[in-house]
Structure 1
Amino acid sequence: MPRFLAVYTMKPEDIAAFRARPKSEQEAIDKVGLKAWEEWRKRNAAAIVATDVMVGKTKRVTKSGIADAQNQIAGFVIVEAADIAAAAGLFQDHPHITVFPGDGIDVMPVVTGPPED
């Protein structure tokens, strides 16, 4: 079965706004969101190939060296599905975008050779 990478994205200003809320509000959202995320995981367990991975601050390595960098990647998971439409459908009600301040989930095929158009 084809595999797909789902990348959780979050705008830096959205996470900053979330962190600016009172701690009690953040904790309440976290409680609801983490419960919903676990329920999502259970509903989709058969499709999940690798456990969710959340990521922190970024370093970018270029020919010029290593520097602090910023991007919208908050984490990722690998799933199996019949096709990209089915893979994307797994995430329509995902807590990253329905509870937490995530702005999207990018779903793309995992390829073993050069990507096709």
Structure 2
Amino acid sequence: MPRFLAVYMMKAENVARFRELPKAEQDAIDNAGLPAWTAWEEKNAAALIDRGGMVGKTTRVTRDGIGPASNDFCGYMIVEAATAEAAARLFADHPHFTIFPGDGVDIMPFVTEPPA
């Protein structure tokens, strides 16, 4: 079955706005979002190949050297689905953007096979 990289996206200004909320409001969002995320993973367990994780600040390597960088990428997961649309439908109600301040989830097919 085809595999897809699901990339959690969140704009820096949305992270900043979340962090500016009073602690009680942040905790309330976490208290609603974390169980919902767990429930989403349980509901879709058959399609989850690698649960991935959330990531921190970016360091970029280029021909000019190594240094800090910025992007909206905040986490990833690998899923199996018949099509990209089917993979996308898995995330239609994901807590990343229905409860947490995420912007969306980008779905990309792997075009090479994983190593044996």
TM bin, normalised by shorter chain, reads over 0.9
- The 2-side partners of 1:101 and 1:48 are apart by 23
Per-residue CA deviation, residues 29-84 of structure 1 (Å, 9 max, x unaligned), is 01100010000000000000001311000111111111111100010000000111
Q: Which residue of structure 2 aligns with residue 55 of structure 1?
A: 55
Report 1:70-81 matches (<5 A).
70-81=70-81
Match of 1:46, SS state, is: helix
Percent of residue pairs identical: 60
- The 2-side partners of 1:108 and 1:62 are apart by 23
AA in 2 matched with 1:17: R
Gaps of 5+ in 2: none
Number of equivalent positions? 113
Gaps of 5+ in 1: none
Runs of 4+, deviation exceeding 6 Å: none
TM-score (norm 2): 0.95
- The 2-side partners of 1:69 and 1:25 are apart by 29
Q: Which residue of structure 2 aligns with residue 42 of structure 1?
A: 42
Q: Superposition RMSD on alpha carbons, in Å?
A: 0.9
